[in-house]
Amino acid sequence: MKDWLGQEISEGDTIIYAAMSGRSVTMVLATVVKFNDSGSVTVQPVKSSRWEQHSAPTWYVDFRTGKRINPYAPEHVESGGYYLYPDGSRFSGSYRWQRPDGTWDDEQPYQLGMARTALKMVSGTYQPTIFKDHVIKRTGEVKAVTLTVTENITKWTGELPADG
């Protein structure tokens, strides 16, 4: 098969192609697995500009029972996610409003009847949820995909990224 630039593509070659997700385009770097009789091409994605298109499945298991679980259920959470602020306070929102005297207000300025300039918006640093010791995260393999539209495939002749 030849790409749109006239380069010959063979099984095992690295290619790049555009994939759509809604109205957003993602560029995918992949290895050609095989050419199908129907004219489609099966590829193994290696790296993507947005992995939502070709992400590996993820699930959580309670190792005590071996069963899949919802890790965010209260019985599996050690500490829920929160935002940490410079003064050491925790809050669920990504930002808080600090008054000129240094006290905090968690309401929007318009709800307080104050001018926005009278308050300072301070961003917090997100601290992710911590699960209990019995929760194990499992991730599967990224599966090969079959491309039925092959006009936008381009042979990749550059180097592969270090993490790909």
Q: What is the pLDDT of residue 119?
A: 65
Q: Considering only CA atoms, which of 29, 28, 30, 60 is closest in space to residue 43?
A: 30
> Average pLDDT for consecutive 10-residue bins of the chain (164 residues)?
92 91 82 94 87 74 94 92 82 70 62 58 83 93 89 86 58
Going across the sheet that includes 14-21, the strands are 145-147, 41-48, 24-35, 14-21, 154-155
pTM (global) more than 0.75: no
With residues binned 3-state (H G I as helix, E B as strand, rest as coil), the percentages for the chain, rounded to 5, are: 5, 45, 50
pLDDT at 70: 96
Q: Where are the domains of the chain?
A: 14-56+141-155, 58-137
Report the candidate in 101, 102, 100, 103 with the shortest Cα–Cα distance to residue 116.
Answer: 100
Amino acid (1-letter code) at residue 100: P
Secondary structure E strands in 22-86: 24-35, 41-48, 58-62, 67-69, 77-79, 82-84
Whole-number pLDDT of residue 61:
96
Q: What is the pLDDT of residue 72?
A: 92
CA dist 145 and 133 (Å) reads: 35
Token pair recorded at residue 100: 């000129």
Question: What kind and span of H or E run contains 146?
Answer: strand 145-147
Read off the tokens for 30: 């992949």
